[in-house]
Structure 1
Amino acid sequence: MPTRRQFLRRTSEAAALAVLAPQSLAVAAAEPRGRASALLRGGSFAQGVLSGDPTPDGITLLTVLDEITRAGSVRLEVASDADFRRVVARETIPTRGSIGHSVKARIRGLKAHERYYYRFETRDEQSRVGRFQTALPPGSNEPVRFAFFSCSDYTHGYYNAFELMAREKDLDFVVNLGDYIYAESYHTRKGGTGVRDDRIGSTSTGNPFVARVAVSLDDYRDKYALYRSDASLRKLHARVPIISVWDDHEVVDNYSGGVRNGGLPAARDAPAKRKRAGYQAFFENMPFYPSGRSRIYRALPFGSTVDLLMLDQRQYRGDQPCGDATVPPCPGYDRPNPFLGRPQMDWL
């Protein structure tokens, strides 16, 4: 039995933490009184659990509740031990179909460079336990170890690299440099170039090299669920925080976000509706909150060793030279074009 002093210390630690879920207000406002706060029954945590953007005192935690249609809440617990005897934060987080039953929160007030454990639950279902480590404090000269990946096309190969990353015992975080999902399916087992199939999206792609392509919000959401059906990716997310940015395939191949229809030929265009769908699915499925509506460029320091600058190389990009076609140099092909955008350049 804990002593009075231990009880007071744990109570004060929990009281110092803040659990922030900005989407909760919108969910609660859209539902009849009391429904959003009621703990849900059923559902499944098939996509696993994720942590992201670690700072010395904070982390963002995420899961997506599957096999549920109604609105309600999911409970989140954070503990300083794997058995959850020392719970430091507990909160119920509302969710609903309009946000893809995403359950996400930012935890603040944690101790620097400490290991924590977390889990989500409904009334009768519980997620696996995830873990994370907060970032080094300012001034620390301890080494930082991280891995990175990009271009993780589900159809083109198995996720053996994710399995190896998950086995590393002392990674501080992993970095996703973009193309976490592919809106397009380029490879199929029938065609002899794929090891597994991605049947999500429309077959009317306008591109003979693409079998299917995501066009709707549900398509993009389904892509994240498909990719996380891989056990190695779920294991990696449960063990190590991720710091993520997008590239092009989270929306459509080679689009430029700063021009109408993505600067692509009509058969491969990225109209605003499709871009919004890709962006919404990204924010629903990544353990990260944007600044404003869609700003993802940001800096994360890790002691005195690492300053990690995460850049957005798609959203503000100018038009593609020569209409993004493979042709001889056209007039103006070497004209300077925006790439990062002026606000991002000024921030840098």
Structure 2
Amino acid sequence: MRPTGRHRPLPHGVPAAHGPEPRAAARHFARRRFLTLTAAAAALAFATHLPATGVAAARELDAARIAEDPFTLGVASGDPLPHSVVLWTRVAPVPYEPGGGLAGRAVAVAWQVARDERFASVVRSGTTLASPDYNHTVHVDVGGLEPGRTYYYRFRTGTWISETGRTRTAPAPGSAVPALTFAAVSCQAYHDGYFTAHRHLAQEQVDVVFHLGDYLYEYAVDSAGGARAYTDRILPDVFNRETVTLEDYRLRYALYKSDPDLRAVHAAHPFVVAWDDHETENNYAGAVDELGGPPVEFLLRRAAAYRAYWEHQPLRTARLPVGPDLRLYRRLHWGTLAQFDVLDTRQYRSDQAYGDGRHVPGPESDDPARTMTGPAQEQWLIDGWRASDALWNVMPQQVCFSQRRLDLGAEAPMFMDAWDGYRASRARILAGARSAGVENLIVLTGDVHVGCAFDVKDDFDDPASTTLGTEIVATSIASGRDGTARPANWATYLAANPHLRFYDGRRGYVRVGLDRRGARADFRTVPAVTSPGAPVSTAASFVTEAGNPGLVPV
């Protein structure tokens, strides 16, 4: 995310606020207006912009007539449960054209799941229809699988067979799982460099990957691929514009998913995905766009972005959006070892206070009515903690949770787009964790294009206060181009934030291992992304002991 620092104009009809009472009135107005416009946008979206939710009555294409490889965007799996996992692919022999070269016709796609890579022991199989309604994407929720084991899968249409993907199911409910290894990634701006870190992650032995947002960026990508500076190919002009329409977003996913490194990591591991802002537009908040335009117009854009997101991710059909609304927050379990509460900190949040950039917190940002998650998601999270029997409660989410003072002054600014702009909301979450008896809290974060490790404090302004948990921030895959181990503000940030235990500006990912004794986070980085093939190394490792929160370097 790239904070702009601009303050959005108020919607038409809302008076300028000069104190807490006018601001409260504006929020009340905005909420009522949002609810009305959400319903209106949903109707408009499906009437005039988006295809219907049912499968189209399109003529079926004879798959034997497909002359080019239709699996150009690879395969993926996700959201593993003990007895099921979602499989994904898209049929697109000409991926950089609207409709993928299939002229609006449906295609039959067969799928197989096996215990072995050679498919000698096939345990599940079937055939589904890749409909033009869903941009010829396929989402298969395969049930009847055994818990806690690895499977292999593939697709076929006509004479074409996809690459083989590897996935796994979650352990049986209530099982005393001894260990788990997962990875966290975020922020993969295609135009900023190669996805080299994904290629390395594909070779790691991890059980599942959490993608924490900014899977794609809405910004234009020129014919040379931006910082990739292609000399052996020319990208079509369809990418050299900002994404706004459903077709724009669909084509942008085609560009990203054609990347061989991204294809490799999806084929290697199941993913649990969550969006941030750039899957739609930079720094949006609920129904408010970056520049404060008419909410009804933005909700139409959001509907298109959410539809394309669902189409191109390994998500169950139950999460198909309705207009501009998609419930993405959800809960996954790994036996009694870990509970994962995946948040959506973008769709339900209050508008950023004082604009969306750097600002000293004040009455506006600290208003108790402000929310990052919305009240329903907040209650869902805390109720889930109260019912949890997991040793580790992990909260994958998008923006920096811990306090970050940006300079050493007594009145230091903070980023209003992160939880520092929603401090009352953060306080409620931490109070909920305490009341639920959560002893081993891990927050997973993306967004900021740097790797960080924080001790989550009861009082961030008091270094001696109780440590309540750990925050692990995954740096970007490519966003920000080539980084450095010590950014220019490295010393300032560490001095201004004693609870910040690690800060590194290079690209990469985080690998986290959990067991019954503790957790270990390895920050894996590459030295460059503007040229392909950079090696990976471990920049730092930290552990935290079960029942004794606080990071210790290894």
With the length of structure 1 as denominator, give the TM-score of the two structures: 0.80
Query: 1:301, CA displacement in angstroms?
Result: 0.6
Q: Show structure 1 runs of 5+ residues with no match.
A: 1-22, 204-211
Question: CA 1:187–1:46 in 2, change beyond 3 Å: closer, same or farther?
Answer: closer
Q: Write the mapping of 1:147-186 to structure 2, written as runs, cut at 5 A.
A: 147-168=183-204, 170-185=205-220
Q: Write the mapping of 1:26-45 to structure 2, written as runs, cut at 5 A.
A: 26-27=54-55, 30-31=56-57, 35=59, 41-42=65-66, 44-45=70-71
Q: Is the 8 A contact 2:78 2:87 kept in 1?
A: yes
Q: Find 1:306's aligned residue among 331, 338, 346.
A: 338
Question: CA 1:315–1:41 in 2, change beyond 3 Å: closer, same or farther?
Answer: farther
Query: 1:238, CA displacement in angstroms?
Result: 0.6
Runs of 4+ in 1 over 4 A off after TM superposition: 35-41, 186-190, 196-203, 267-270, 325-331
Query: 1:40, CA displacement in angstroms?
Result: 6.6
Structure 2 letter corresponding to 1:301: H
Q: Deviations over 1:65-89 (max 9, x none)?
A: 1032211321111111211122211
SS in 1 for 2:276: coil
Aligned to 1:133: 168
Q: Write the mapping of 1:61-140 to structure 2, written as runs, cut at 5 A.
A: 61-67=87-93, 68-69=102-103, 70-138=105-173, 139-140=175-176
Query: 1:100, CA displacement in angstroms?
Result: 0.8
Aligned to 1:194: 227
Write the distance in 2 (CA, Å) between the matches of 1:216 and 1:110: 38
Q: Which has the larger radius of gyration?
A: 2
Q: Deviations over 1:200-232 (max 9, x none)?
A: 6687xxxxxxxx310111111111111122211
Q: Is the 8 A contact 2:222 2:239 kept in 1?
A: no
Question: CA 1:274–1:40 in 2, change beyond 3 Å: closer, same or farther?
Answer: farther
Structure 1 letter corresponding to 2:54: A
Write the distance in 2 (CA, Å) between the matches of 1:188 and 1:255: 27
SS in 2 for 1:226: helix
Question: CA 1:86–1:273 in 2, change beyond 3 Å: closer, same or farther?
Answer: same
Q: Number of residues paired by the alignment?
A: 309
- Choose 85-94 or 283-292, whichever is displaced more: 283-292
Q: Are residue 253 (structure 1) and residue 253 (structure 2) matched?
A: no
Aligned to 1:7: none
Q: Is the 8 A contact 1:177 1:246 kept in 2?
A: yes
Q: Are residue 56 (structure 1) and residue 82 (structure 2) matched?
A: yes
Query: 1:116, CA displacement in angstroms?
Result: 1.0
Write the distance in 2 (CA, Å) between the matches of 1:329 and 1:284: 39
Write the distance in 1 (CA, Å) between the matches of 2:229 and 2:294: 26
Q: Write the mapping of 1:240-319 to structure 2, written as runs, cut at 5 A.
A: 240-257=269-286, 259=287, 261-262=288-289, 264-266=291-293, 271-289=298-316, 290-291=318-319, 293=321, 294-319=326-351
Q: Is the 8 A contact 1:79 1:86 kept in 2?
A: yes
Query: 1:249, CA displacement in angstroms?
Result: 0.4
Query: 1:161, CA displacement in angstroms?
Result: 0.9
Q: Are residue 339 (structure 1) and residue 372 (structure 2) matched?
A: yes
Query: 1:137, CA displacement in angstroms?
Result: 2.0
Q: Is the 8 A contact 1:200 1:223 kept in 2?
A: no
Query: 1:292, CA displacement in angstroms?
Result: 6.9
Cα-Cα RMSD = 3.1
Query: 1:114, CA displacement in angstroms?
Result: 1.3
Query: 1:124, CA displacement in angstroms?
Result: 1.8
SS in 2 for 1:301: strand
SS in 2 for 1:194: helix
Q: Show structure 2 runs of 5+ residues with no match.
A: 1-50, 94-101, 382-554
SS in 1 for 2:300: helix
Structure 1 letter corresponding to 2:89: T
Q: Find 2:352's aligned residue among 320, 323, 327.
A: 320
With the length of structure 2 as denominator, give the TM-score of the two structures: 0.51
Q: Is the 8 A contact 1:40 1:72 kept in 2?
A: no
Write the distance in 2 (CA, Å) between the matches of 1:338 and 1:201: 37
SS in 2 for 1:232: helix
- Choose 331-340 or 124-133, whichever is displaced more: 331-340
SS in 1 for 2:190: coil
Q: Percent identity?
A: 36
Write the distance in 1 (CA, Å) between the matches of 2:60 and 2:123: 24
